[in-house]
Structure 1
C-alpha cells in the first residue's frame, strides 16, 4: 500500500528488513490468523497481549504457531513467555501499558531477521510506517504510512486518516527518519479511520525478561549484510535524521551498535537510580527533557543522551560509558572490554575533552559505601535514609472526616536528592478506599514507585503516614500480590524496611518533637521502656520524663483503648520512635507473650548502634520469622513509629468528600 503520510515514501532497504522480521500468529491446528508480531531477538517475537489473551486464557502453556512467507518452510512452534496483563483485569479493552506479550520459539536454530529497536526514550516524530498481516484470502502482508497526531499518556500513540484492516495488531511501527522500530501497533478505531500504537518503553515493564531479550537483541545485530547488501546499522548510517556523524566528535549508528553490544555484556544495574544518575551526570547534570519513562537497563541510559531524536556529541556517550565502567568496578566487576573500547574511541575526540572521560567520577550517591574489611555487623544493616541521601517511598492515608473508616491516599517518592519528595500518584476524591481494599488499590502504584528508586543492594523503605487512631493498620503484612500473614512471603515487612509516621505532624516540627529526636540521635545507648506501667493507667509525665535514649514500647495496640491513650501521650511528648503490638491484648492483664515481647524489644534496641539501624534490624527479624514460619513469634505483629523531623511530611490542604 503506498504511503501519503508525513512519513514520506518508505526506504526500500528498511522496508525489506522490517518485512522480513514481521510474522503472524495462529493456532497449532491451523485456522485463521490471530494477529501480527515481529522478531526482536533470536527466537523472540513481540506482539500485543490482546492478540493472544482470548486464545490462551484457558491454557497459557499451549503451543501455537508463528509463520510468514519469509521463513521459508513450515510454521514454527511457539509458546507465550510472558504478558503484561494483570490477572484480575476484566474486559477486552487492555490498557496501553499492559498490552504487550513476548513469545518464545520452541524450534531452535531458526534463521530469521530481527528489527532494530530504538533506544531513544523520546516519543517518535510525526511520521512512521506500520507493517503487519491481514487475514483476507489467507494471511496477506500489509503496510502503510501514518501520521502520528497525538501522544496518549506516557506510552500511547494515536494516528488518524488511515484505515487499518483487522489482523495488523502486534505489527511493528517503523520510524523511517531514524531507521528504528519505535512502537507496536495496538488497534484500529472502530468504524473510523485511524488507530493506536504502544511506544517501546512499555517493554521495560517485563523486568528481568526485558533485560534478557534486549541484551540478545543488541548482541545479535552485527556487521553481516542481511538484505540487499545492507543491515540495519549500515542503512541507518545513510539516514540524515539518524544524527550528524561525519566526524569522530559525533556519535554514529556504528558507535551506538558497538556500545550497546558491550553494555549488553555488563551485569544489569540492579535498579533505576544508577542508570538515571549516571545518564544525568553525562548530560552535564541536566535532567532529560520532558516526562520520559524510567530507565531500567544500561541501554536505556544510553537512550537518554538524545535531544530532538538526535544523539548528543560523542563525548557525552563516552562519559556515560566510562561511568558505567566505574560503577561496575565499584561493585567488584571488571568490564574490561567496554573500558578498552571507550579508550580507543576517545582518541578521535579533541584532547581538551579527554579528562571528562579519563577522570570520570561517580555521583556521591553511587559511591561504594563500605570498603574491604568492614565489620560484618555494618556490612549487613542498612541505615534508614536521612537528609543526606537515600530513597524513600511514602504513602499518606487520610481518613475522610465524614467516613473515618475510609481513606484518601497519596504516594510520594524521595529519590535521595535534596529537592525533597514528589507526589507520583493519588486518589483524593470520591468516596475513599476501605481498609481491606487499600493494598489492592495501591499495589500497582507501589510497584512502579519502588521500581523507580530500588537497587539490588538497597530496596527503598516504605513509610506509611496516617493518624494515630489507625496505627494498628498492619502495613508490614501487605503483599504486592495478595494479603497474608508474615510467615507467607513475600511480605513487604520481610522485603523492605516498613515504618509508620504520624500524619497529624504534617507540615511543621514542634519544639518537643525536635528536641526529643535530637536527643535520641545523640544517645549513647537505646533502652526499651514498657508503657503503660503494669497495673497503672498511662500518664503524660511517664513520657515527658523519659531520658533521651529511652523508647516507649507497648505490648498492646496503639490505636485504641489504653494503648491508644499511651500513644497519644507519647506523640504529645515529642517521641518520634516507638514500638507496639498491633494484634490485640488480653483484657485481664499481661500474659507470657507480653514478657517475650518486652524481651524482644529490649534486645532489638540494645543491639542497635543508633536509631537509623532499627527499621532494618526489625526487617531482618521478620525475615527469620518468615523462614521459620513461626506465627507466634513476638515480631510477627509489631509495628514501628519512625518519624524523622528532618524530613517532615509536606503540608497540603486537607481534602474531603464534597
Structure 2
C-alpha cells in the first residue's frame, strides 16, 4: 500500500486557513468544510464578536469573514469549555475558490495516529510572515466526550489552534486543535488537546452571531449537504475518496462486495438532496432495522443527518458476510422513509434506483436482504391534552378571572390520551445530584445518564463529580447545555424525553422543573415552547438516591400492586389531627398514595418522606412550597383536596407524570384553575426500572 501522506497533506493544507485581525495580527487557524464556510475553535474568534476579520487561504489570498454561529457556554474571558469550543465562520466574498476537508461521518473516537494542520506567525527576521505547519500526533486518550488528548511527541506551535486534525487511518476531519502542550505535575507533558469535530452536530440550534450570514433553520444539516455536494462535484479524480481508498480505516480492499469511498461519495450526494429527518430518533430506528434489531445504538448518540447513520454502520458492518449489505439496506430504508414526502419523492426514487444498480454488482443472492427491508411500525396518533402537546382547542382563561370559592368546583379536567408518553416507554434522561459531604455550604456533584428500554447501556454520558461541587443556584445554568444536548438527541415530534432527578430525600424540594432550557432574553421568549421551563414541556419527576443499585422487596411488591390499582386514593400524611406513625404508611392499601402538605425541608415533611420510603412507597405527592409555621390551615386542606382529585382521575399510576406536566403547562398559560399545583412535586420511583449503582468513588478534598 503506497504512502498516502503527501497526497493527504496537499488536500488538507489546501483546506486549512489562517484567521487574524484586520491589522494582520494572527489569531489562529481554521479548516474549510463547505463553499464559503470554515470551522475553527471558538476561543480563536471570541474577541471579534460579530465584527469582521480576515481569513487567509493557502494560496495567500485574503478574504473578509465573520463568525456566523457558535455554541452556548463561551465565556467572555478565560478558558472555553471543551463542549463549546467550536465556531462556524462565513467568508464574505462570493464564489471564493478553495479546497474542503472531508468531514468524517463517524461518531466513534479517532484512530491512534492523526495529523494536525495550521498556520503560525514567524518570528525573528521574518516577523509577521505566515508559515504553514503540520505534524503527526498520537491520540493519547479521550478527554471526555468532546475532546481528545494528543501525545507529547509533536510540538504544536502557537497559532495552530482551531486548525484541522485529520485521522490518518480514515483520511477525514475528526477534530480541531484546541491547545498546545502543557506541563503538569512531575514535569510530565502532553502534546495538547483537540475538540472533536462531532461537536458540529450540535449546530442544530446554535447561537447566531451574525444574523446577516446564516445558513438555514438547521445549520448542521445545511452545512453537511453543501459539504457533500462540493465533494461529489470536485472529488471525481485525485480527491479525498481516491486517497481514502488506500487507507486502512475505510473497509475491505476494493471489490464488488466491499463498500468503497466511491460508494460513500455517491450515496452522500443523494442523501444531501433529502430533507433532514423530522424525528431525531428515526436514524437510530432505521439502523436497528438494518441489523435485524441485534445491535443496540445508544440513545445518547447524536444522529442528526442521514450520513450520521451511515457512519454508525462501520463498526458493526462485519456482522454481514458481504460488507456492502448493511449500507445498501440502510440506503433502501432511507428511501422508504422519505418517499411519502412530496418534496423528497423524486430523490427517494433516484436513491432506490441507485441501490438497485449497486446491488446488481453483488449477485442475486442479496436481493432478499436488500429488497426485503421494511420500515418498522411506528405509533400513530397525536396527543389529545387540554393545554398539552398537540391540542387544538386549548382554552385560555382570562387573567382577570378569579378563583372560585370552592377550588374543586369548575376545575378543568385533564384529558390524557392512551397514546400519551408513559415513563419507561422510551428513553429518559437521568440526572443524579449528589450532595458534597465535605462542603461548608450545600453543593452538588452531578452525573447524566440515559435510561433506554431498548438499550441496556446506562453508562454516565456527562458528569462533574470532582472538586467542591456546584451550589444549587448555579446548577440551572451549569446544566443547561448538557441537558439540552441530550434532549436534542432524544426528543421526537410525539414525545419529549422525561427527566428523572435522583436526589436524597432531604433535597427533594430542589425545583428542577422550574429550570429553563436556555437563557430567555425577554418575556416574549416564553411564548416559544423551546424556552418553557423544563417541567412545562416534559415530565420531571424525583427519584430516591438511596435506592440506587440495590433491590428492595417491599418497594418492588408495593410498586407492582400500586401500578395495577385504579383509581388511586390519597393517603393524607401525616393524618389530620393525629400523630404520625410508620404503621399508617406500612399498612396502606395498594391504591393509596401518600400526600404530604409540607416540603422536604420541613422537619415533619422530611420525616414523613423518610417513613414513606422505608414503607416501600414508590409514588408520593407533596407540597414543595412553604408551610404555615403554626400548623395546617385552609391552604393545606385545599392542596390535599386537589391532590386527591388528581389521583382519583388517573386511570393508572403511570398517568401521573404526564398529568402533572399538563398542570404545569396550564399554570404557564395562566390558567387560574391550575395554580394550586404550582408547589406540587411528584416522586415516581419505578421499581421496574431500578436505578444503576453509583459510578466510581467521588474525590475527597
In structure 2, C-alpha distance between the alignment counterparts of 1:629 and 1:16, rounded to whole Å: 64
Counterpart in 2 of 1:146?
136
Describe how 1:226-625 pairs up with structure 2 within 5 A. Answer: 230-234=238-242, 236=244, 242-244=250-252, 246-269=254-277, 273-276=281-284, 278-279=286-287, 282=290, 294-307=302-315, 313-326=323-336, 335-361=348-374, 367-370=377-380, 382-386=420-424, 389-399=425-435, 405-407=442-444, 409-417=446-454, 419=456, 421-425=458-462, 433-440=470-477, 442-450=479-487, 453-481=490-518, 489-540=531-582, 542-544=584-586, 546-588=588-630, 590=632, 593-594=635-636, 596-598=638-640, 600-625=642-667
The match for 1:215 among 225, 236, 241 is 225
State the Cα distance separating 1:595 from its structure 2 match: 5.4
Listed one character per residue, the Cα deviations across residues 558-594 of structure 1 (whole Å, up to 9, x for unaligned) are: 4424433443443344332221211112234555544
Alpha-carbon spacing, 1:578–1:196, altered in 2? closer, same or farther (3 Å): closer
Listed one character per residue, the Cα deviations across residues 587-621 of structure 1 (whole Å, up to 9, x for unaligned) are: 34555544553454345334433221221221122
Alpha-carbon spacing, 1:330–1:565, altered in 2? closer, same or farther (3 Å): farther
Counterpart in 2 of 1:31?
24
Alpha-carbon spacing, 1:372–1:342, altered in 2? closer, same or farther (3 Å): farther
Alpha-carbon spacing, 1:607–1:67, altered in 2? closer, same or farther (3 Å): farther
Listed one character per residue, the Cα deviations across residues 457-483 of structure 1 (whole Å, up to 9, x for unaligned) are: 333222223333332222222334579
- Give the 3-state SS of the residue equivalent to 1:250 in structure 2: coil
The match for 1:184 among 166, 176, 183 is 176
Q: Is 1:105 matched with 2:99?
A: no
CA contact (8 A) 2:567 2:649 kept: no
- Give the 3-state SS of the residue equivalent to 1:551 in structure 2: strand
Counterpart in 2 of 1:87?
74
In structure 2, C-alpha distance between the alignment counterparts of 1:50 and 1:419, rounded to whole Å: 37
Q: Is 1:61 matched with 2:50?
A: yes
In structure 2, C-alpha distance between the alignment counterparts of 1:67 and 1:25, rounded to whole Å: 6
CA contact (8 A) 2:15 2:58 kept: no
Matched length: 636
Alpha-carbon spacing, 1:180–1:639, altered in 2? closer, same or farther (3 Å): same
Give the alignment's TM-score, normalised by structure 2: 0.77
In structure 2, C-alpha distance between the alignment counterparts of 1:465 and 1:31, rounded to whole Å: 52
In structure 2, C-alpha distance between the alignment counterparts of 1:466 and 1:597, rounded to whole Å: 24
Q: Is 1:134 matched with 2:120?
A: yes
- Give the 3-state SS of the residue equivalent to 1:306 in structure 2: helix
**Which deviates the most, 280-289 or 346-355?**
280-289
**Which deviates the most, 253-262 or 597-606?**
597-606
State the Cα distance separating 1:290 from its structure 2 match: 13
CA contact (8 A) 2:300 2:486 kept: no
- Give the 3-state SS of the residue equivalent to 1:212 in structure 2: helix
In structure 1, C-alpha distance between the alignment counterparts of 2:555 and 2:191, rounded to whole Å: 60
CA contact (8 A) 2:621 2:681 kept: yes
Give the alignment's TM-score, normalised by structure 1: 0.81
CA contact (8 A) 2:17 2:30 kept: yes
In structure 2, C-alpha distance between the alignment counterparts of 1:605 and 1:321, rounded to whole Å: 48
Counterpart in 2 of 1:3?
none
Alpha-carbon spacing, 1:454–1:36, altered in 2? closer, same or farther (3 Å): same
Listed one character per residue, the Cα deviations across residues 258-300 of structure 1 (whole Å, up to 9, x for unaligned) are: 2223333444446775444544554566659999975443222
Counterpart in 1 of 2:210?
none
The runs of 5 or more residues in structure 1 that have no matched partner are 1-5
CA contact (8 A) 2:317 2:323 kept: no
Listed one character per residue, the Cα deviations across residues 397-425 of structure 1 (whole Å, up to 9, x for unaligned) are: 44466779555544433122363633445
Alpha-carbon spacing, 1:598–1:123, altered in 2? closer, same or farther (3 Å): closer
State the Cα distance separating 1:207 from its structure 2 match: 3.6
Alpha-carbon spacing, 1:109–1:362, altered in 2? closer, same or farther (3 Å): same
CA contact (8 A) 2:13 2:58 kept: no
Alpha-carbon spacing, 1:535–1:87, altered in 2? closer, same or farther (3 Å): farther
CA contact (8 A) 2:149 2:193 kept: yes
Alpha-carbon spacing, 1:468–1:107, altered in 2? closer, same or farther (3 Å): same
The match for 2:683 among 633, 636, 641 is 641
Listed one character per residue, the Cα deviations across residues 469-520 of structure 1 (whole Å, up to 9, x for unaligned) are: 3322222223345799x99753221232111122333444545433432332
Alpha-carbon spacing, 1:67–1:600, altered in 2? closer, same or farther (3 Å): farther
- Give the 3-state SS of the residue equivalent to 2:14 in structure 1: helix
In structure 1, C-alpha distance between the alignment counterparts of 2:455 and 2:115, rounded to whole Å: 44
CA contact (8 A) 1:11 1:176 kept: no
Instruction: Give the superposed CA RMSD.
Output: 4.4
The runs of 5 or more residues in structure 2 that have no matched partner are 184-188, 206-218, 386-390, 392-414
